[in-house]
Amino acid sequence: MSIGYTELILILLVILLIFGAKRIPEIARALGKASSEFKKAKNEIVEEGKELTEDTTPPNDQHQDNT
């Protein structure tokens, strides 16, 4: 199931009627900032995860067997 051009135009018209022409740029700007902040936070979490796994993984040549 995909959205066709007719459905997309209808959705955009409904949004225009609900929010008005002056509010749409403000909403788009807020969504862009939120998306940017989400990506930034996701990247920070990924980097922290990489650092933690690198710090906690012991090197193979330091493992000794005491038998």
Residue 36 lies in a domain: yes
Q: What is the pLDDT of residues 13-32, one digit of tens each?
A: 998 899 888 888 898 899 99
What is the SS3 assignment for the chain? CCCCHHHHHHHHHHHHHHHCCCHHHHHHHHHHHHHHHHHHHHHHHHHHHHHHHHHHCCCHHHCCCCC
Residue 63 lies in a domain: no
Residue 40 lies in a domain: yes
Domains: count for the chain:
1
Residue 49 lies in a domain: yes
Q: Read off the pLDDT band of 64 (50, 70, 90).
A: low
pLDDT at 66: 61
Residue 11 lies in a domain: no
Q: Read off the pLDDT band of 53 (50, 70, 90).
A: confident
34: containing domain: 29-54
